[in-house]
Each structure stands twice: as structure tokens, then as C-alpha cells.
Chains A and B, each alone.
Chain A
Amino acid sequence: MKMRLILCTPFLLLFVSCFQLIEDVTVKQDGSGTAVFTANLSQSRSKLASIMLLDSVNGYKVPSKTDIQNHLAEIATELKKIPGISNVSHSADFDKFIATIRFSFNKVEDLNTIANKLFTEMKITSSNQSSYAYNKGGRTFSRTYVYEPKAKAEFEKLKDADKEVFNSATYTSIYRFDQPVLSQSNASAKLAASKKAVMMQSPILDLITGKRNMTNQIKLAN
């Protein structure tokens, strides 16, 4: 999902030389939990600060602080309307260029509702079956990531200079639980010392090109 969002956001594409996306999801035993999504563009802050002094660059309108804040507020408002989603808050730090959105969910599947809604809002027709699932009885958390060839096709259309933007961009996912993890299926993922968190870090380029898969089946203790 995130790959498509990035590819459809010219602002990020054109002006950022390095960025990080962090997905931090905490799942309680009953399937409810909290999620924090962070976009850290801090490594490009000088460039972004310069660009934001302009109205447009290369024909692209440069959004103002207010535009970005309004857009984040709109996303937050939309999230609040989704059944099962609560405690929505967001922040945008224009000194560090870090934006965060956080919320609570009643069940893990609510995350899929959010993903689908975002696709609809952005008029993206996706065949992506990437999803989150939690089996309360079996105590299994699943993160399914299906490689999206369309994303790679879109990426290939970019100019070489724009492709370079992704060279050092990273995606980090952290899934936290209140019970220890018994097993997990993705060899690239790491287990925390407490055994209650699983983290995976990947260059975004590897996800776009399908070199790396984020799919993970995490089995939890009862």
C-alpha cells in the first residue's frame, strides 16, 4: 500500500533525497491495539525548507505548511469516521520534517479498512491483496504482503534522477504484542530481546522491485 502512495506523491518523488517510513503496530490479546505511522523526511530538510519558500518547482505546485496540515487533518477526520477507529491524532514538525499519525483500533482487520479507504480516496485501483489478520483463537498475527507489479511498472516510468530518490529510502515495520512470539516465518525479520516485538527493515526499492517480501506469520504464546 505504502509503495503506491509514495509513487503517487510527486512532492516526495521530486524533492526528497532520502526518507524513512515507519509502521509501528501494537496488538493486544483481544485483537485491539494502536498504530503509529511516521514519515521522516528529516535528511532532506534543507532542500525541503528551500523548496517550501517557493510556490512551484518544475511545474509542480509546492504545498504550503497549511496545505499539508489541512491534508493531515482531513486524513485524521476520515479515520475517525471509520467504525472501530478511535483516539486519532496527528502531528507535523516542519522544523524536522517529520509527520506522524496515530490511532487505536478495535480489531486488526480495521487496518485493512483504512488501507482500502485510502486507495479509494486516492482513486487507485489496486489488485494488491496485502493485508493484516489476527486469529484470536489460534493466537496468530499475519501480515500478508503481495508484490504489486504495477508499482514496479510505475517506478520504471520515472526518470533516472527521480528513481535515485528511492536508493536510500527505508521502510521499517514493528509489530508488538503482549505475549511472547513463539515463531515467525520471515527470515529477514528480527525478534526483540523480550520476544514481544518483531521488526523488519527494508530498502523501499527492494519492496518496489519485489526483491524482498514483508509477509510474516507470527505465532504467539497463549
Chain B
Amino acid sequence: MNRFLLITLALLITSTLRAQDLASKIPHDAFAVVNIQTGQFFKLIHVKDFDRSAIGKALVDLGQKTGASDITSVTDYGFDLNSTSYFWTSKTDSITYFTVLIPLSDVSAFEQIFAAEEEIIRQGPVQQFTKTLDDEQVTFAWDNRMLCIASGSPVSSYFENQEVADRYGITYYDYGNYYDDPDTTSAAIDSANTWGYIDDFDIAPPVVEIEAAPTEATVEAAEEAVDSLADIVYEDEPVEIDSTTDWWADTANYAVEAASPYEDYYTKNIRIKDSLAGIWAREYTESVFNHSLDNSILNNRSYLRSVKKDALITGWLSNLEAIYSTLLPDLFGMRGDGKLFSYYGSVYAGLYADGEGFKLGTEMEVSDELARSFKRIYRPKLNRKFLKYVDSDRAVGFVGLAMDSKAYLEELPKLMNDTYGKIFAQYENEISLGAEIVSLLLDEEAIASVAKGDGLFVLNGIAEKEVTYTDYEYDEDYNYKEIEKTKMETIPDFLVMFSSDNVNLYNRLVSYFQYKMLLSDDDGIFHIEQSELPFDLYLYRRDNIVFLGTSKLEMEGVRDNRMQGSISKAHRALLTKNRFAGLMSAKKLSEEIPQEQLRSLDNYIAFHKLFGNLGDFYFRSNGIKGNTVSGEFVAQTPEGYDNAVQYLFALIDYAAQQQ
């Protein structure tokens, strides 16, 4: 698609979004956004049907328990169920914000249910209250159009700075210099004494763009927060320290005395940081209401690409690195200069429900370098000769993969070196050398001639097999001896195929393993002599395909060219049009499970009710297109339901009835 078309498409999507919903309130620097498209959801299940479902009833009951007796439907909560709600995360150097934006259709209904018991602050058209949930201060702010819920998580590293710590009354131990400073304890206590100046602290968020000037209510809130911080300070008297004490000589005494103030400061530090996060999150909600369209996420093309009108939920992540840098900062710190994160760009995911079923689609952008490698690796298609050995009526499931093993072996050492070499910097030379040696030692072409890189696994069912076990026979004096008994067990019946051009090497390998008594020849079909395997395994090669399977009968069919599988059109397309694809038929699997495995009648009925009607599950990935790797997982809706949402709710209702 050329640039003009792309921009036109982006503008079209943007204009649709701008016209109807709250996405314009999301700042352009949000790094993760989730759209919850309830409008699409209620197109698939009528509100009345939802209200009648187990989940709908539970939600209505919940409202009634809070005192809102006139709630009879989820629509009575005051939320606009026809519009999209949003969740997003954004980060500054000092705080990570988590925000939810829900459109309102009836503000008075919302206020009656959720805000009646709260201390509300009014600020122009916006009202707000703050609640502590799970030790976190969460701000609820709303106007006639939307509800904004925001909380913040302080970024620890921001406060690990003497100047910042002093500004907010936080006691900061510089562990880097801890043992260099012989008077650490005294220094800590001195720092504690400075808490008396808390009234002078700056509580403004260090880096956050707020367009509107602080209002009177904000100032009041801030002053209240300062008072509460001051209360924290004066709760505990400073510990008196005898400066003449020989701390290092009396280690036991030192440990007791030192531990106590640390714990005090640590707790106080957390409380101060959490209070600051609460204040900053409260101010952040105001910025959301005043946010201008120009600075919104709607100017981000990558985000716009993730928005799909017919999805129930879509997720967008600006880049994979953001997850590590924000949510797993410790791990991110280990990355060094490695390319582990820089290989990956934006990530999109969308959950859809339609007549076919639930679909989870994902896409990820990768760097040009990685895209080049992937294109080389995932170039070939599945060997079409495999399809002759697939019987769609019989197969319970299958997984097919098509890749170029030569390209894979050539690309892997380079990728490993780039990725891990810098992470484990102290071993960089060794990793680089190792990668080089592996590349030199491997004859990629020779390996690729034995296993080209495409393969197909077909699960044909679950077979019953007689197995032996050891029991005991007792004589009349209770002396016992081991006896062999038999019982029936279920084992998987599968066939694996992979392309292999090099018959000479295959023959040499077979001869070697025969010599080592690991293979026995039975009229051209080799039995793998491995007693530890729970099933028999046979090996055969024909038409440049190596077959590995559990059924001797089937292998004989392959040898005698009697196999004429009949693959369905859909299964053929799934396998041949994708580089990686798989399918599992829950219905067939439920038919295969022997009844004695489902011992009780209840188990039997529940199992067949849940899985007997279930459609197929399949996944597919067509490798890489441009710089985007995509994949899709589909759970098909069984017959008798209009769409996947209706089926899901029917299942939930059934499960709820069984409780």
C-alpha cells in the first residue's frame, strides 16, 4: 500500500473515531491502549439476553446489593454500552499512570449507584472523589459524558536521587556509598530530622503535561496531602542516637538499632511515594478532561492501525521494549546494549466474535533486520505430498510447519550473538566465538538435505492398547511372587512426516541404529526398540518423506502405497496457505476418550455437554509480510448458535447451573 492510501485510510479511521468516542482523551504518549468495544459486544448478544444470563444476573444483583433497588438491567448503571471504553498506560520519569475511560449515558444513575456515599469535590463540570483500593489511591472523576478512573504507581528509580528525595521528604540511602561512609547511621538520622520542613515540599509531578493551571480544588487537595504527609513525619519521634556509641564494635546492638529506623523510613518512604502518586493521578484525571485532540493518540498511525470496528477488544502496545522498561524495569536493566528489544516494534491484538467463532488476531512489527531473517527462514511452503496421508474425517488434530532449515541454521547464530552477546556482556567474546564455531561446524546444507524444515504432525485418534504390569500372587503362607497381568490403556495414534532429500545419510543412520539394536527391520518398516516409550513407534521413508508413526497398519499402508487420505478443502487451505498452522477438533477428541475414563455419569454428561458440541480450534500464521508477523487463533462456534458470544454465555450458564 502506498503512502497516499495509508494516509487516506488513517484519516478515514481517525474521522470515524473523532466523531464518536473518547479516544481523543488518550494522550499521544500512552504506550499501551486497550479498546473495549461494548457496542460490538451488544450487537452480538441482546441486552435482554445478557441480563438473563448468569453474568448479567450477577451484575444486576450487585447493583441491588449496593442499595440501587431499581436496577433491573446492566443498562441501568448509567454507562453508555454502545460506545467504546478505554484503558491505557502512560509513563513519565516519576510515575506510571493507569487510566480507564468509560462513556456515560445517564450520569445521575451512575452517581446514585457509585458516588452517593463518597465525598465529592466539584470542579466546574467535573466531579471527583478518591478511594483507596488495594492500598492504592484511585481517583474517580466524571462529567456528563464520561467517567475517568486513574491511579498511579511511583517509579522507584526517580526517587533514588538525593535532590529528589530531599524535595519530597524521602530518606534516601545511597547504597553505592554505604560502606564508604563511616557515619551512615548518623547521616540517616540527620536526614530524618529534616522531615520537619515537609511543608515546603514540592508536590507537583516532576514530568507531566497539564494544560490547565492548577485549580483551587487541586491546591486544596495538595495542601491536604501535605498535611497528611506532615502527620506521617510527626507520628514517630526521631530516634535518639548516642554519637559516642561504638557501633561497629557492638554489632548486635548495631543491628537492632539500625534495623528499626530503616524500617520506619522504609514504610514512610512508601507512604510518601504512594501519597504523591495519588495526588499526581488526581491531577492527571483533570488533564484527561482538558486534553486537546492535537496531542491525542489519534495522531498515532500505529495505534490507529490496531483499531478494528468489528472487534470486541483490541490491544495496542507501542513497542515490546515498553513492557520491559515500564513493567519489568529490573529485567530491562539487564539488557545491556543487546538487540533483544530493538528487534520488535508495535504489537496489536484483537478479539473478535462472529458466526465462525472467537478469533484472537495478533500482529507484531519487527525490525528490517529481523524481517529479512524471517523472510529467509519462512520462505518455503509445506510439502503438498504430506496431504495424501491426512484423512480429515479421522484426524482429531494436526500441526504443520514450513520453514527452511538451512536458512534457520545460518540465521540463528547471528541472531543469538546479537541478542545475547550484549546481555551477558562479560561473555560477549565467548558467545560471538561460539556462534562462529557453531556456524563453521554445521554443514547447513547437509543438515537441510536430511530435514528440509517442513513437517506435519497428525493426531489420528486415541487407540486402546493392551499393556502388561506386575502384580503379586500370594501362596497360602503369604509368600509372594511377581506375576504379569494385562490391562487396556489409551495411547495416542499419530503420524509425523518431514521432507528429507538425502537418502544416503538416512540409510547410513538406519544401519547404524540397527547395529546398535535400536531399530529392528520388519519388511522395510523399522520398529524403534525403546522400551521406555509408552507406545510402539515405526519409521519408514518413501518419496523423500520420512514417516514416524504409532500404527504399524498405517505404516504398511504407506509402504504399499495404499494410503489415500481425503483431506477437506478447509484443512488443505489451512495447511498450504500458512507457514505454521494447527487444528484440534474438540468434538472428535471427546468421542475418542474411552467412556471408562469418564467414570461417573455426571462427568460423562458434563464432558459431552461442554466439548461434544464444541467446534474446531485452529491457529495459523502466514509468517511475515512486510515487517509484520501475524497470527490468528480461532475457536469455532458449534452449530445452533448465531455467534460465539451467545455460545460462550450458554456455556457459562450451564457451568453456573452445575455449581
Contact = CB atoms under 8 A, between A and B. Distances in A.
Contacts of B469: 42-43, 45, 96
Nearest to B533: A49
Contacts of B532: 49, 52-53, 94
A197 B471 contact: no
A99 to B, nearest CB: 12
B477 A50 contact: no
A95 B476 contact: no
Interface in B462-487: 467, 469-472, 474, 476-478, 480, 482, 487
A169 interface: no
Given A43-B487, A45-B467, A95 B477 contact: no
B476 A22 contact: no
A47 B477 contact: no
B655 to A, nearest CB: 16
Contact of A46 (B476, B477, B482, B491): B491
Interface in A102-121: none
B2 interface: no
B531 interface: yes
A187 interface: no
A192 B475 CA distance: 9
B476 A192 contact: yes
Contacts of A164: 599
B489 interface: yes
Interface in A13-69: 20, 22, 40, 42-43, 45-47, 49-50, 52-53
A22 B472 contact: yes
- The A interface, classified by DSSP as helix, strand, loop or mixed, is mixed
Interface string B6-39: 0000000000000000000000000000000000
Interface in A142-184: 164, 174, 176
Q: For this complex, into which size category does the number of interface residues on chain A fall?
A: 20 to 34
Contacts of A139: none
A199 interface: yes
A98 B533 contact: no
B182 interface: no
Nearest to B491: A46
B125 interface: no
A212 interface: no
Contact of B467 (A20, A46, A95, A174): A46
A202 to B, nearest CB: 15
Interface string A188-203: 0000111011010000
A98 B470 contact: yes
A196 B467 contact: no
Given A43-B487, A46-B489, A46-B491, A96 B470 contact: yes
Contact of B478 (A43, A45, A98, A174): A174
B489 A194 contact: no
Contact of A194 (B467, B470, B472, B477): B477
B534 interface: yes
A164 B489 CA distance: 17
A192 B534 contact: no
Contacts of A47: 534
Contact of A192 (B478, B482, B489): B478
A27 to B, nearest CB: 14
A199 B478 contact: yes
B272 to A, nearest CB: 39
A52 B530 CA distance: 13
Given A40-B470, A45-B467, A194 B476 contact: yes
A50 B489 CA distance: 13
B111 to A, nearest CB: 45
A94 B487 CA distance: 19
Contacts of A193: 476-477
A176 B487 CA distance: 32
Contacts of B467: 45-46
Contact of B471 (A42, A49, A192): A42
A197 B478 contact: yes
A63 to B, nearest CB: 15
A50 B532 CA distance: 8
Contacts of A192: 476-478
A50 B491 CA distance: 11
Contacts of A45: 467, 469
Interface string B64-105: 000000000000000000000000000000000000000000
B534 A49 contact: yes
Nearest to A53: B532
Most chain A beta-carbon neighbours within 10 Å: one of B469, B477, B478, B533:
B478
B476 A50 contact: no
A101 B599 CA distance: 35
A40 B531 CA distance: 18
Interface string A119-143: 0000000000000000000000000
B601 to A, nearest CB: 15
Contacts of B471: 20, 40, 42-43
A50 B533 CA distance: 7
A43 B467 CA distance: 9
A22 to B, nearest CB: 7
Contacts of B534: 46-47, 49-50
B147 to A, nearest CB: 40
Contacts of B489: 46
Contacts of A22: 472, 480
Contacts of A94: 532
A121 B472 CA distance: 31
B470 A42 contact: yes
A102 B476 CA distance: 23
Contacts of A194: 476-477
A164 B471 CA distance: 20
Nearest to B465: A46
Given A49-B534, A95-B531, A196 B477 contact: yes
A112 B99 CA distance: 63
Nearest to A96: B470
B464 to A, nearest CB: 12
A43 B534 CA distance: 12
A155 to B, nearest CB: 19
A52 B531 CA distance: 13
A89 B132 CA distance: 63
Nearest to A175: B478
Interface string B515-557: 0000000000000000111110000000000000000000000
Contacts of B535: 46
Nearest to B532: A49
Interface in B600-637: none
Contacts of A197: 477-478
Contacts of B531: 95
A49 B487 CA distance: 16
A9 to B, nearest CB: 20
Contacts of B482: 96
Given A47-B534, A49-B532, A199 B474 contact: yes
21 contacts: A20-B472, A22-B472, A40-B472, A42-B469, A42-B470, A43-B469, A43-B487, A45-B467, A45-B469, A49-B533, A52-B532, A95-B531, A96-B469, A174-B478, A192-B476, A192-B478, A193-B476, A193-B477, A194-B476, A194-B477, A197-B477
Interface of B: 467, 469-472, 474, 476-478, 480, 482, 487, 489, 491, 531-535, 599
Given A42-B469, A43-B487, A47-B534, 5 more contacts: A94-B532, A96-B469, A176-B478, A192-B476, A199-B474
| A-B interface, 8 closest residue pairs, ranked by CB to CB distance from nearest | A193-B476, A46-B534, A42-B470, A42-B469, A192-B477, A199-B478, A197-B478, A43-B469
